Structure formats: C-alpha cells, structure tokens
Amino acid sequence: VDGLATGLVVGLVAAAVLFVVEYGRVEIVRHVMTGRDYQSTTDASEQRLAALRAAGDAILIVRLQGFLFFGTADRMRRRIQGLVEAAGESPIRYVVVDFSRVTGVDSSTAISFVRLAQATGPMGFTLVPTAMSAPVRAAMARAGFAPGAGAAIVFAEDLDRGLAWCESALLATVAPGIVAGAPVAVGDILGVVVGDAATAGMLAPYLDRLELAGGAELIAQGAASSDLYFIEAGRAAVSVASPEGSLRLATVGPGSIVGEMAYYRGHARFASVVAEEALVAWRLSAESIARLEAEQPAALIRFHRGMAGLLAERLAGANRLVQLLSD
C-alpha cells in the first residue's frame, strides 16, 4: 500500500512537472507590432497616418494568448523589456499589451507585470493593458498591479481604444494640430496628394463644397462611385451594413480622403460614410475630372500619380500587417 501511494505521489509530481515544462514552451506572445505597422480606427486622415508611419515605432504592441503562469509570464516580461531597452535612439514610449486572447493568469503573472510596471513612469514608458477580463484584472489588482505612485498604467477596454489613446498622446507631442482635430483646408489636403501648393491651387477650383449636418449621409453603401471627397472639418463614421447589423470600420476626420477606392476601381460603394457632427467636405466629381482633363491635364496627371502613391502606401502597410499577423 505504501508503495502504491508513493507511486501515485511520484506520478502526480512528474505529471505536474511535465505539464509545466511542456506548457512553458507554448508561445504566449501571439504578435509583436508597432504603431507604424498597425493603427487604430479612430481617424484615417492622411496627415495622421503619415505622422504615425513616421513616429509610430514609439508604440509597441504585444498581443498575448493562452493561460499565463510562472513558466511563461516572466519570459514574456523579459522579452518586452528587451525590446524597450533595444530601441536605442528612438525610444518606446507606450507599450500596449492586449489580453483579449488570454484565458487566465496565476499570481506569478501579476508579479511579473508589477515588475514590468516598475520600469514605467516619466523616464520610461506608459504601460497600456487592453481587453482584460474582470477575473484577470481582479487577480492582477490583488498583487498590486494598478495605477499608482510612480507607475504609469492606463487600462483600456479593447485594443483599438488603447491604441487610439497612445496615438493621441504621441501625436500631441509630434503633431499637436492633428490631435486637436482642427479643420484642414482642402488646398492643404490636395497639397499632400500632389506634393506642391501650386498644383493644388490649380485643382481646388474644380471641387464643390458640401456642408452636412450630423446624421447626414455623405456616401451610401451600394451607390455608384462617381465622386471622391476630401473632409475639411468634422467627423464621420465609415460602416458596412450586413444581415447581422452595422459594422463600424473607421472614423474619418479633417484631412481624410474618402470614396477613392470605389472610384478608382469603378465599383459600387462598399461602405457608407455618415456625418457624426457638422461636416464640411469637398467633392471632386467625374464631371470635374473630365473638365480637368481638358483644361489642366498636367495637374490632373499629378493628382492621379499622387493618389496612386497614397494607395500604394496603404497597400504596403496592409501587406506588412498581413506578414506580421501570419508569423
């Protein structure tokens, strides 16, 4: 009997050790990206996207998965700290850690995050945990993982909101005008497209100014794509209707260009664009483009080349993201 009991105990211990060893090999870090590779859906203006592509490496995004325990959590902490320390002359100022795929944590995980939080603060980075379930957040709080003296921690409901907070905080220092949501003159938007103010000035008279009240539709899903629009002021929601309901894709604000994909592809509108507040937009219609072709062909060529460059940059960004997510 004693031998049987000893054998059972030894077997249970061996099984536990084997579980720890095997599960400890599981990679809990699902993806590692930066704010240059992946942006929130908060504002799709060309100025904002360009600024984030230039400065977005200051935002580190780490997506976790599975059950976090002492066999994996500290390895994850060391990896994050290693990335922060290796950033060199372009420091990481925000670390977004996404918990949406985390199924649970043990007490040692919370301790690892407490140690990670000790590196935050005015001289370090801000830690932004997102999509923590209530049980996980409660377990972390019991170990002392919470905003407090000397610890820069900001919780967010989901990855998109957490990333948007980081983007706004970053842009407030590198491009404050973008964060403020100030109106962007249509000439300035066209200047981003064509690359010079003179050509933008030649194009501007061919655009029609539109004023929409909140709730008004700028673009209707399924409609013909005969125009493209430049948003000067206000904000609008981009959404797709389906049998399951409406799916919000993005928010567009001053400096954004909308309707260009369907216009150049010659397809019906894929999504609706609805003003969320008073909106000022400028429309470049097919008729105006025909007039430009006859009256200002060189300016039109510059415009099409500029739009091709913007679309190519978006495609390159999407390809980078697909490569990152497929690793």
**pLDDT tens column, 237-265:** 999 998 888 888 888 989 999 999 888 88
Q: Which of 41-50, 74-83, 205-214 has the least mean pLDDT?
A: 41-50
**For residue 194, what are the CA distances in angstroms to 78, 113, 208, 294?**
46, 47, 19, 19
For residue range 262-282, list pLDDT tens digits in order.
888 888 999 999 999 999 999
- The residue length of the chain stands at 327
Q: Which of 51-65, 132-146, 224-238, 275-289 has the least mean pLDDT?
A: 132-146
pLDDT band at 321 (very low <50, low <70, confident <90, very high): low
Nearest to 60 by CA among 287, 324, 326: 324
CA distance linking residue 84 with residue 72, whole number of Å: 19
pLDDT band at 8 (very low <50, low <70, confident <90, very high): low
| Tokens read off for 24 | 């400890």
Judged by DSSP in three states, 270 sits in: coil
Confidence at residue 200, expressed as pLDDT on a 0 to 100 scale = 96
Q: Which of 19-23, 192-196, 220-224, 289-293 has the least mean pLDDT?
A: 19-23
Q: Which of 104-113, 132-141, 270-279, 311-320 has the least mean pLDDT?
A: 311-320
pTM equals 0.76
CA distance linking residue 267 with residue 36, whole number of Å: 30
pLDDT band at 110 (very low <50, low <70, confident <90, very high): confident
Reported as half-sphere exposure (CB side, CA atoms, 13 A), residue 36 has a value of 10
Cβ atoms 76, 40 nearer than 8 A: no
Indicate the helix (H) or strand (E) that contains 241: strand 236-242
Is the pLDDT assigned to residue 327 strictly greater than 80? no
CA distance linking residue 124 with residue 65, whole number of Å: 26
